[in-house]
Amino acid sequence: MAIILRLDRVMADRKMSLKELSERVGVANVNLSKLKTGKVSAIRFSTLDAICEVLECQPGDILEYQKDEE
């Protein structure tokens, strides 16, 4: 996959636990865990918006594009 999720890094920088982020964003802990580990194929803009608001970051801080090697 060419899109890499860096949610774990941003959460660590903010010293925020998955449980706290889940409560503040209003998304189930299991769904955020999947985002954190990169085991998702899509994310709703409303969820991304809420995560960015709580973590005080930009979408580019969480999502990174990496070109696939051929």
Which structural domains are found in the chain, ordered by start?
3-65 (1.10.260.40)
CA-to-CA dists, residue 56 to 1, 2, 62, 66, angstroms: 26, 25, 11, 23
Cα–Cα distance, 35 to 62 (Å, whole number):
10
pLDDT band at 69 (very low <50, low <70, confident <90, very high): confident
pLDDT band at 38 (very low <50, low <70, confident <90, very high): confident
Q: What is the pTM of this model?
A: 0.88
**pLDDT for 1 beyond 60:** no
DSSP 3-state assignment of 51? Answer: helix
Phi, psi dihedrals of residue 27, rounded to the nearest 5°? -120, 140
Cα–Cα distance, 9 to 25 (Å, whole number):
17
